């Protein structure tokens, strides 16, 4: 990468780091100009991550080595923060699943959560609603969930907590991996739900609640 491309990359990273504050005429960012004894001009942009120093100016100049390292450190910090936030839904479900296994549970078994204490590990639990939950590994075999009455409602999510289907109507819900064949012995009246095998593990979480206890 040549010097011009490096300078452009550093500029884009700097502006993203500062939330484009340097481009906002109403910004509170302070800019200091300095000329060394040898005639070289420097511009310092004082930001929330400290002072960023550029030869000439921050728009078309070259960042100093210290500024370059500071920007890359900030980019690493921001990416780490984004990765943490991005992974919260997945890790939340995996924590639930692991707690089931630690209690001797298996895929497909039903777990009932009624008390406040039993829901403390859940990220999205409603504290006043009783839940029935099960993890289903459809990679092993397709599964059918039977909703016998409209007084029971449910939902199917993948491990990223992305909703795949609501179960608001009575019926048999057949869950299979995306793109796989419907079993020949499947009931004719099933409601087909395909798991997103490309975006998540082929493990689903189902939740049920009584209609008269919805908030």
HEC sequence for 113-168? ECCCHHHCCCCCCCCCCCEEEEEEECCCCCEEEEECCCCEEEEEECCCCCEEEEEC
Helix (H) or strand (E) holding 16: helix 3-17
Most confident of 89-98, 149-158, 184-193: 184-193
Pick the CATH number of 3-82 from 3.30.160, 1.10.357, 3.30.70, 3.10.20: 3.30.160
Q: Which pLDDT value is given to residue 214?
A: 37
Indicate if 106-213 has the same CATH topology as 3-82: no
Pairing of strands 203-210, 131-137: antiparallel
Residue 84 pLDDT > 90: yes
pLDDT at residue 98, as a whole number: 83
pLDDT at 111: 80
The residue written with tokens 């960023």 in the block is: 52
Nearest to 205 by CA among 118, 116, 90, 127: 90
**How does pLDDT run across 179-204, given as a tens digit for each residue?**
888 888 888 888 998 887 543 444 44
Provide the CATH topology of domain 106-213.
Immunoglobulin-like (2.60.40)
Domain spans in the chain, listed from the N-terminal domain onward: 3-82, 106-213
pLDDT at residue 83, as a whole number: 93
Q: Which long-range contacts (CB under 8 A, 24 or more apart) does 26-33 make?
A: 31/58, 33/57
């Amino acid at each position: 990468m040549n010097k011009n491309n490096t300078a452009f990359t550093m500029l884009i990273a700097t502006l993203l780091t500062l939330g484009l504050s340097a481009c906002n005429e109403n910004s509170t960012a302070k800019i200091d100009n300095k000329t060394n004894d040898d005639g070289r001009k420097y511009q310092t942009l004082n930001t929330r991550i400290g002072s960023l120093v550029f030869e000439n100016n921050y728009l078309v100049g070259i960042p100093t080595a210290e500024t370059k390292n500071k920007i890359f450190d900030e980019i690493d910090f921001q990416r780490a923060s984004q990765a943490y936030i991005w992974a919260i839904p997945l890790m939340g479900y995996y924590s639930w699943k692991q707690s089931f296994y630690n209690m001797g549970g298996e895929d497909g078994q039903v777990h009932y959560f009624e008390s406040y204490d039993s829901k403390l590990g859940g990220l999205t639990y409603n504290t006043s609603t009783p839940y029935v939950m099960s993890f289903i590994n459809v990679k092993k075999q397709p599964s059918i969930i039977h909703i016998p009455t409209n007084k029971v409602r449910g939902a199917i999510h993948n491990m990223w907590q992305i909703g795949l289907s609501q179960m608001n109507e009575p019926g048999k819900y057949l869950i299979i991996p995306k793109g796989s064949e419907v079993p020949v012995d499947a009931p004719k009246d099933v409601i087909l739900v395909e798991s997103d095998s490309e975006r998540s593990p082929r493990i689903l979480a189902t939740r049920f609640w009584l209609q008269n206890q919805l908030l």
